[in-house]
Amino acid sequence: MKRLKDNINSSYVSAMNRLGGRHARERIVAYVESYDDVFFWSNLLRPLETDKYYFEVMLPSRTSLCKGKKIALANELGPRLGKCMIACVDADYDYLMQGATLASAEVCSNPYVFHTYVYAIENYQCYAPALQQVCVMATLNDHHLFDFESFMRQYSQTIWPLFVWNVWCYRYGTYKQFSMLDFYHIVQLGKLNFYHPEQTLEKLRHLVNAKIARLQRQFPQGRSTYKPLRNELLRLGLTPETTYLYMRGHDLCDGVAVPLLNMVCEQLRREREREIRRLAEHNVQMQNELSAYQNATAAIEEMLRKHTTYTECPQYKRVQTDIKDFIDSLHPQTDTAAQPAPPAS
C-alpha cells in the first residue's frame, strides 16, 4: 500500500508552502540523479535563492535506493513536476539529440527539467582552466609545469570530427556500429610525453582520421547528413575547442584528465620532496617534513570531485541563467499599466 508521502507532487509542496504564512520563503524541491549530484546542484542552486524561494536538493525515490536519470524522469515522477518541484539531470547525449528520442524530448522540452548542457557533472570537474587548481589542491605545489588549457583545446580540435560522427550514429540509430565505448577506445590517451605532448596528439590524429575514413565507407549516407548535423551542433553551442565537455564524462575522467593529472602531480610531488631534502638541516627534520607533506597531499580523484573552479564555465552559467529565468517566471512583475490611476486632486 502506498503512503501519502509517496505521492508528493508540486501541488502538495505548494500547499505546504502556503502553511508557512505569506512572508515565509517557499520551498522548491530539486530532484537529482545520485548522491554525488547533491553537492554539485546544491552549489549551483544556492546563489539563485531569493527572499521568496529556496531549494531543497534530494533523490527522487523515497521507497528504494534506485538512482539515475531514468528514476529522476520516471513516469511516476514526470507528472509530479511543477513550479515547486523540478528535476536536475545530466544532459548526456539527450541535449545533442534535440528530441530525437523520448528521453531527449523530455530533457529538452519539459520546462521543469534542467540539465547540465555538457555531458555530465564529471565534464565540469575536468574543465580545463580548473585542472591547474586541482594539481595545487592535490600536491600543494603551484608550479605551472603543464599548459592544460592549450592541450585540452588541441585535444578537442583533434577529436571533434570523430565526435560528430559518434553523435551522428546515435542520431540516426546506428550507434551499435560506433558506440561511445568505441569512440573512447580511440580518443583515450596512451603514453604521454610530458615534454612533447604534440607527439601524443599527432598519434591521436592518425587514429581519428583512419576511423573517419572507415565510417565514411561504412555509412555513405553520411555524405548528405554529416555536415548539417555538424552545423547544428555548432549552433547548440559546441565548438571544436570544447568537444571534451560533451563526450561521456567517465571516459573523459578515466582516459584523459586523470592520466594528465597523474603525470603532472607526480612531477610536482617529486619537486616538492627534492626541495624538502635540499633544505633540511638534518635527517630527522627531513623525515618529519616529508611525512607532514605526504600526509597533507590528497588523491587526485578526490580533489576532482571536491573542487568548484568550474563555476566560471560558460555552460555552467547558462544552467544558472535558465533556472534564474524559471524563478523569475514564478513571480512576474506586475503590469503597471493595469494599475488604477490615482484619484485627481
User: pLDDT tens digits for 211-222?
Assistant: 999 999 999 999
Both 163 and 305 in a single domain? yes
Domain boundary at 118, 137, 156, which? Answer: 118
Angle of helix 222-235 relative to helix 148-171, nearest 10 degrees, comes to: 130
Confidence of residue 69 (pLDDT cuts 50, 70, 90): low
Confidence of residue 268 (pLDDT cuts 50, 70, 90): very high
Confidence of residue 334 (pLDDT cuts 50, 70, 90): very low
Spacing of C-alpha 51 from chain mean position: 28
| Residue at 331 is within a domain | no
Both 102 and 167 in a single domain? no
| Residue at 342 is within a domain | no
| Residue at 19 is within a domain | yes
| Residue at 1 is within a domain | no
Domain boundary at 84, 118, 152, which? Answer: 118
Both 212 and 108 in a single domain? no
Both 171 and 305 in a single domain? yes
Q: How buried is residue 312: exposed, middle or buried, by Cβ count under 10 Å (0-12/13-18/19+)?
A: exposed
The predicted structure's pLDDT at residue 76: 43
| Residue at 29 is within a domain | yes
Both 270 and 192 in a single domain? yes
Both 192 and 234 in a single domain? yes
- In which domain, by residue range, is 83 found? 8-118
Both 304 and 263 in a single domain? yes
Task: Mean pLDDT check: name the lowest of 10-19, 142-151, 204-213, 284-293.
Answer: 10-19
Domain boundary at 85, 118, 151, which? Answer: 118
Both 26 and 84 in a single domain? yes
The mean pLDDT of the chain is 86
Task: Mean pLDDT check: name the lowest of 24-28, 46-50, 175-179, 280-284.
Answer: 24-28
| Residue at 326 is within a domain | no
Q: Rg for the chain (alpha carbons), in Å?
A: 25
Both 12 and 60 in a single domain? yes
Both 212 and 282 in a single domain? yes
Quote the number of domains for the chain: 2
Both 152 and 107 in a single domain? no
Both 202 and 247 in a single domain? yes
280-326 tens-digit pLDDT:
899 999 999 999 999 999 999 999 999 999 999 999 999 999 999 99
100-135 tens-digit pLDDT:
888 899 899 999 999 999 999 999 999 999 999 999
pLDDT(342) > 70:
no
Cα–Cα distance measured from residue 143 to residue 271, given in angstroms and rounded to the nearest whole number: 9
Confidence of residue 271 (pLDDT cuts 50, 70, 90): very high
40, three cell numbers: 554539485
| Residue at 2 is within a domain | no
| Residue at 339 is within a domain | no
